[in-house]
Amino acid sequence: MTSDPHAWLISLEGVPSGFAGARDGIDAVLRDRGLRRTSPDLTAESLLRGAHASAVLEGSGSTLAEVRAGEGDEIAADAVRLATELLSLVPVLRRQPLQALARIHTVAARGALPDELLGRPRDGESASRLRGIAELVTAPTEAPALAVAAVVHAELVTAAPFGSHNGIVARATERLVAAARGVDEKSLVVPEAAHLALRAEYESNLRGWASGSQAGMHSWLLYAVEAWSAAAEASPLVRDAE
């Protein structure tokens, strides 16, 4: 028996090497471009682009230009509101992940649900799933940090523990895990934009994860390798230099 809930990841073909390659790509972007050019404005731009992409995946019809001008629809406004607070939750996620998940939902769903439902799981089963996901966030593991972020993302989408905004919560948490585990502390890569660009594969592989089969889970993780590589290329560090 092992106390590492992510140990199974390391045995899957192509997963450790794939995530190592994705991490190298992120490190290269952050090292080669970020060390010379990083500023709070770039982090804010990454978060804004991510909020827009996540909102579109959730059903928003707003363009990035509209979101940038503060003229996005309600879903976009929810995602942007969450983005402005997200990185402040890094220390909370490290110490009290369940509290961080509740806060993420509270910020995202404010105004869409009654106050008494904000940050609260839908029922007892959802509460149990949420506790399990929170344990995955902070459990000691030898699995790659990006893989942990991908697992947490998929689990949140599959469990849909809250009464609304579960996709936005899942994608924000994926970004937050990457920051909290030291992959991208300034949150300069844009995983949400990668998922939007790869939308068909994203949604198909999430369904595969939800099936509970090893093949489906394996496929999601291999997809996540591709998505994290695309997330690095979607960074304003790259796009603004083109």
Residues 188/30, Cβ–Cβ less than 8 Å: yes
Yes or no: say if 120 and 206 are a contact pair by the CB < 8 Å rule: no
Listed by start position, the domains of the chain span: 7-239
- Residues 175-233 have pLDDT tens digits of 999 999 999 999 999 999 999 999 999 999 999 999 999 999 999 999 999 999 999 99
The dihedral built from the CA positions of residue 193, 198, 204 and 205, taken in this order, carries a sign that is: negative
Q: What is the pLDDT of residues 26-42, one digit of tens each?
A: 999 998 765 556 788 99
pLDDT tops 70 at residue 2: no
> What pLDDT score was predicted for residue 169?
98
Question: Residue 103 pLDDT > 70, yes or no?
Answer: yes
Give CA–CA dist 220/133, Å, rounded. 17
Instruction: Please state, in angstroms and rounded to a whole number, the distance separating the CA atoms of residues 59 and 76.
Output: 9
pLDDT tens figures, 109-168: 999 999 999 999 999 999 999 999 999 999 999 999 999 999 999 999 999 999 999 999
Topology of 7-239 in CATH? Fic-like fold (1.10.3290)
- pLDDT for 32 equals 78
